[in-house]
Amino acid sequence: MEMLSRVMEFYYNPFLLSDMEKALHRIVAAVNKREKIVIYGHHDLDSITAISLLLLVLNYVKADVEYFIPDDEKKGLNEDVVENHIKFLGASLIITVGCGTSFSSEVELCKKFGIDLIITDYHKSNSLPSTIIVNPNKIKCTYPCKDLCGVGVVYKLVQALSVYYNMKYVNKYLDLVMLGTIFKSSKIVNENKSIVDMGIQQLKNTNNYGLKALIKVYKVMNINRESINKLIFDITPALNVTKYINNAKIAVELFTTSDNDRAEQIAKYFKNQTRVMHIYL
């Protein structure tokens, strides 16, 4: 309980989100049994930071985990992806991040293949039969903050995991959460404000090699809301153009690498991509 009080000092209890305990228990079971977990997202910065955050944390607890981003602009989970891609990864559990909840046929297909599904999302939605949905805007969910974006909801899942695994330093990931939140959220209020304010402070002393590289390569002199908005403006064109769809996967590598030289190489690549796009787009 002491750990929970530290985690919750500036945030709402993650277990106020409906289905959070179910999500936690299913993930822990997958970790303990060495089941394959696949994180499923898409190519905007909110989803990329959410994928990266969950990948870092699940790798920390020694999960057998991969991620999947489709090679097109389709945002949601679809039957073709389940049948022709994720199935062949050997997944027992899919965790979606910010991809919506309109997956009724996909849910049935997952059941057919013996794949469980955890949906983390923020769009207004109803429940799906026998599906774990962690979403503050799900009907009948009484979670106090309704303004979380995809990475914000994933951070609540990470907080729950931190309680179970006694992880003392999950606030070190707030710089990533802050980046996705500023990109996605129109309302920086309530819990989002805590995420942004504390994330900016964390970024000043970040231990994330990718974020360090972006700060260096883009010459961010003073870390504040204005400079972060500019950084997001600079890097997102390379993520949002269909021609460069695989850049989303490169961005996940940027935020999860433990190789400083590789991080700088990727940051320079994005800067060059941005320069080219400003000329030709």
Q: Is the pLDDT of residue 1 over 70?
A: no
Rounded Cα distance, 144 and 150, in Å: 16
Separation of alpha carbons 101 and 257, rounded Å: 30
Question: Per-domain residue ranges for the chain?
Answer: 2-275
Tens of pLDDT, residues 67-78? 999 887 667 788
String of b and e for 160-175 (b: at least 16 CB within 10 Å)?
bbbbeeebeebbebbb
State how far the Cα of 105 lies from the Cα of 103, in Å rounded to an integer.
6
- Give 48 or 243, the one with higher predicted confidence: 48
- Cβ neighbours of residue 226 closer than 8 Å, sequence gap 6 or more: none
Contact 133, 167 (CB under 8 A): no
Query: pLDDT tens-digit profile of 225-240?
Result: 999 999 999 988 877 6
Instruction: Give the pLDDT confidence of 188-224 residue by residue, as tens digits.
Output: 989 999 999 999 999 999 999 999 999 999 999 999 9
| 277 Cβ neighbours under 8 A, 6+ residues apart | 237, 238, 241
Question: Is the pLDDT higher at 2 or at 232?
Answer: 232
pTM of the full predicted structure? 0.92
Residue 67 forms beta bridges with which residues? 39
Q: What is the mean pLDDT of the chain?
A: 89
Q: Could you please state the CATH topology (level 3) that the domain comprising 2-275 is classified under.
A: inorganic pyrophosphatase (n-terminal core) (3.90.1640)
262 pLDDT exceeds 80?
Answer: yes
Alpha helices in the chain (DSSP H): 2-7, 20-32, 45-60, 79-81, 104-112, 150-165, 174-184, 190-203, 209-217, 225-235, 247-256, 260-280
In this prediction, residues 232-255 reach a mean pLDDT of 83
